[in-house]
Amino acid sequence: MDRGLLKTTALAALSTAAAICLLYFFADRAVDLAAHTLKDSAWYAAGKSLSLLADHHLFNVLLFAGFVWAGGAALGRGLSPRVRGILYCCLAVAVAMIVGDFLKWCFGRFRPELLFTQGQYGFSFFADNYNQHSFPSGHTLRIFSAATALSLLWPRARLPLLTLAGLVGVSRVVVTKHFPSDVLAGAFVGLFCALWAWRIMRGDGVDKGQEINHEDG
């Protein structure tokens, strides 16, 4: 067990939870009501386009392709650095998606659309309805897990990768699919799922800064 990462995760979880509470009570509704006025604007169109980068159908296809390719390559040539890197990225994103889906069901938070149309705001808990799966943001946790994983493999690309992830997260508020606290929770889940997957995979040969496009050997 990595006590350093465990401590960092616990402190970040407490800080994130506190920030989520503040956003929930003092900012979420006002921000999304303001974002609702942007519908049909250029900002809304830009947000829709950015959101496509973390579309769940796209990520499902990428994960399937990644696991199949890496599995086949591992059987044929063994766990080369490239194969381990791809497996790590797929594992980080897959775990984040599983955790996110579980949390969505547990919390059952009403999406902004229900605030606009029915005045509903809050949590229903253990919900199966799409409109009650606002927390955490799935797009945000997908893009943050992928960006964090790739930035650990390619440290020089960390800033643009995480900047892009942040923009995708903001886009989910702009298109009024999520509240700011949903996005913050998604970023936390994605980031730390990738960090823990990294910690686990390092024991299997994924080393810091090792680019997955290196020649196998």
Question: Domain of 22: which CATH number?
Answer: 1.20.144
Model confidence at 1, in pLDDT bands (50, 70, 90)? low
- For residue 195, is it within any domain? yes
Q: For residue 108, what are the domain limits?
A: 3-202
Three-state secondary structure call for residue 136: coil
Model confidence at 3, in pLDDT bands (50, 70, 90)? confident
Distance between CA 116 and CA 152 in Å, rounded? 40
Model confidence at 215, in pLDDT bands (50, 70, 90)? very low
Query: What's the pLDDT score for residue 77?
Result: 85
- For residue 211, is it within any domain? no
Model confidence at 214, in pLDDT bands (50, 70, 90)? very low
- For residue 212, is it within any domain? no
Three-state secondary structure call for residue 122: coil
- For residue 104, is it within any domain? yes
pLDDT of residue 5 exceeding 50, the answer is: yes
pLDDT of residue 2 exceeding 90, the answer is: no
- For residue 216, is it within any domain? no
Distance between CA 187 and CA 181 in Å, rounded? 10
Query: What's the pLDDT score for residue 84?
Result: 94
End-to-end CA distance of the chain: 30
- For residue 162, is it within any domain? yes
pLDDT of residue 79 exceeding 80, the answer is: yes
- For residue 207, is it within any domain? no
Distance between CA 20 and CA 208 in Å, rounded? 31
Per-residue pLDDT averaged across 104-128, rounded? 97
φ, ψ at 123 (rounded to 5°): -125, 145
The average confidence (pLDDT) of the chain is 94
Distance between CA 66 and CA 73 in Å, rounded? 10
Residue with tokens 């402190």: 11
pLDDT in tens, 174-203: 999 999 999 999 999 999 999 999 999 886
Model confidence at 210, in pLDDT bands (50, 70, 90)? low
Question: pTM for the whole thing?
Answer: 0.93
Least confident range from 43-47, 79-83, 150-154, 206-210: namely 206-210
Query: What's the pLDDT score for residue 7?
Result: 96
pLDDT of residue 139 exceeding 60, the answer is: yes
Count CB atoms within 10 A of the CB of residue 5.
14
Enumerate the β-bridge partners of residue 123.
Answer: 109
Question: CA torsion 117→102→93→217, rounded to 10°?
Answer: -170
Helix and strand element counts for the chain (H, E):
9, 0
Q: How many domains does the chain have?
A: 1
- Which residues 6+ apart lie within 8 Å of 214 measured at CB? 81, 82
- For residue 83, is it within any domain? yes
Please give the single-letter amino acid code of residue 127. Answer: A
Radius of gyration of the chain (CA): 18
Percent of the chain with pLDDT over 90: 88
pLDDT in tens, 18-41: 999 999 999 999 999 999 999 999
Q: Is the peptide bond before 136 cis (omega within 30 degrees of 0)?
A: yes
Per-residue pLDDT averaged across 82-92, rounded? 96
pLDDT in tens, 100-109: 999 999 999 9
